Amino acid sequence: MSYNAPVRDIAFMLNHVVGLADVAKLEGFEEATEELATAVLEESARFTSEVLGPLNSVGDAEGATWDEDGVKTAPGWVDAYAQFVESGWGALSFPVAYGGQGLPMCLSSAVQEMWHSSNMSFGLCPLLTQGAVDALAHHASDEMKDRFLPKMVEGVWSGTMNLTEPQAGTDLAAIRTKAEPKDDHYLITGQKIYITYGDHDMTENIIHLVLAKLPDAPEGVKGISLFVVPKFMVNDDGSLGEKNDVRCVSIEHKLGIHASPTCVMSYGDNGGAVGYLVGKPHHGLMYMFTMMNQARHAVGVQGYGIAERAYQQALAYANDRKQGPTLLSGNDSEGIINHPDVRRMLMTMRSSIEAMRGLALDCAAAFDIAAKHPDAAVREAAQRRGELLTPLVKGWSTELGVELCSLGVQIHGGMGFIEETGAAQHLRDARITPIYEGTTAIQANDLIGRKSARDGGQGLNELMDDMKSVLEELKASNEVNLKAVAARLAPAIDAAEQANEWLLGQNDPTQPSATSVEFLMMHGRLAGGWIMARTALAAVAEKQKADADDAYLDAKTLLARYYAERMLPLVESGKTIIMDSAESTISLDIAQL
């Protein structure tokens, strides 16, 4: 089943809800006009649907393979990646100084949705390169940036992030990889696991960013340093030299994303891999955190990106599949889309995807404002907003993405369980997204701790205030669907405020921790409702214009109403769960479990 990028929906969200025009007013983002965004989105749509999309099922069936010489990607991958680089897609948001286009994050996120919808396994390679480029751009010396960044920005070299070890997953303090000083560099020894695209045949070099400990490292997370370890040494003139002492010793067999090689990397089998220290010693984890928000945001985009693909497939099937009389059509030979419950599933998918897309783009725009706004106070508030929304984008959108892909299978009935249909692949692929780049529990901890308790709820309160002003706008309208949205948004905001107050009043973190994921999901659903309310307001406003496409705009308003009526009541029940269920969650004796 082919992929058709929803260019119009994405552009509507960017232009009328998120406010790309405001971002384009900032110095450095002037290029990002509506006109340019349209041209970029349309060409990206063509590329992803024609080049990346058709390789998705091939990648799933054939997967990446490993032998002594390294990893080979699935058939067609090398050629597609070459076209990707040739077209310059990887460089969209990178600094102009290193060959990037310097476009805002909200536009690059919009483009990246298409990578992941069309082929998430493929999209992971540039996603990881982006993380590595961000880390180097922020923390490496100029000499190091000049040596590595231009080729990484161009995409002819890819990047990886080497954090996890068998005994050190979420707890990075436990890493054992060592770095010994030697002349002007370090020798790295140790083993890293779960390294996405740790080895492959699509680029001439791979730049590994590796967390390791120096001999004099203090205990714990304050003893971790960050190193650059190239697969092939890079000579002073930029040419490639000897192969470094790093290799992929195996790849994992996984539930999904078969075409994305998940590597076990061995450093220093023959004495030590040459590595270069990034920034200052013992600051590695802090450096990683500066790019963590962006990486987590990118995984959130995968969450709804893959759900969009599942939705397109389910929608086509529901139109096509005929199964007896349906209640919503007078005709016995109409598709199962005319069953009310199939409609429920499709509406849930469609409206949730729009809500998640809007939230991710809104969050990205906040980071854009935080990066470029002339007023320091505005920058600070925008940064606070972006950081607050990030765990929602990552945690909520990936959890919901999995649910929606499951609905996609459900709509197919028995055929959904059969691999040839392709519906199951999306569910299998989606399942990793709530796990990597920090599990949902990690996101929830981030939300209740770093993003809420630490600033005494300032960021949360600002968000609630913004939601209340949207509520006032809704209430001021006579439009029937807007009134319906307001009717559900008001009690949802009240409920969330009660939950916020409860959270901030807790001195012992145990109880909040037991219901933190519910807290995250509640805020995700509510923020989705806020986005959908803004979408509906924008649609109603657009309808006033001459030549308005009424059918399209009315659909936006009705989707917002469905979302409000179906999802926002869960905010109210979520509040009850958050405040009342902690004790029973943790009080049972382990022996009885």
| Binding stretches for another protein (CB under 8 A) | 4, 8, 31, 35-36, 38-40, 42-43, 46-47, 51, 83, 86-89, 91-92, 101, 547, 549, 551-552
Greatest Cα-to-Cα distance within the chain, rounded to the nearest angstrom: 81
**Least distance in Å: CB of 43 to another protein?**
5
**Least distance in Å: CB of 158 to another protein?**
18
Per-residue tokens: 172: 């990075």
Cβ proximity to another protein: between 25 and 283 the closer is 25
**Least distance in Å: CB of 90 to another protein?**
9
Determine contact, residues 436/405, Cβ cutoff 8 Å: no
Measured CA to CA, the distance from residue 265 to residue 538 in angstroms comes to: 49
Handedness of CA 407, 412, 417, 420 (dihedral sign): negative
For the question of residue 113 being annotated catalytic, the response is no
Three-class SS state of 412: coil
Name the burial class of residue 256, with classes exposed (0-12), middle (13-18) and buried (19+) by CB atoms within 10 angstroms of its CB.
buried
Cβ proximity to another protein: between 39 and 435 the closer is 39
Cβ proximity to another protein: between 111 and 212 the closer is 111
Cβ proximity to another protein: between 89 and 194 the closer is 89
Per-residue tokens: 15: 């232009």
Residue with tokens 């231009």: 150
**Least distance in Å: CB of 4 to another protein?**
7
Three-class SS state of 259: coil
Cβ proximity to another protein: between 85 and 503 the closer is 85
Cβ proximity to another protein: between 232 and 552 the closer is 552
Vertex 417 angle, CA 416 and 420, to 5°: 75
Alpha-carbon separation of residue 524 from 446, 496, 531 (angstroms) = 14, 11, 10
**Least distance in Å: CB of 104 to another protein?**
13
Alpha-carbon separation of residue 446 from 117, 232, 363, 390 (angstroms) = 27, 37, 16, 9
Q: DSSP for 84-151, please give it.
A: HHHHTGGGTTS-GGGT-----HHHHHHHHHHHHHHHHHHHHHHHHHHHHHHHHHHHS-HHHHHHHHHH
Cβ proximity to another protein: between 152 and 273 the closer is 152
**Least distance in Å: CB of 42 to another protein?**
8
Name the burial class of residue 534, with classes exposed (0-12), middle (13-18) and buried (19+) by CB atoms within 10 angstroms of its CB.
buried
**Least distance in Å: CB of 413 to another protein?**
27
Catalytic residue among 437, 462, 497, 572: 437
209 pairs with which residues across the strands? Answer: 161, 228
Measured CA to CA, the distance from residue 364 to residue 390 in angstroms comes to: 9
Active-site amino acid positions: 437
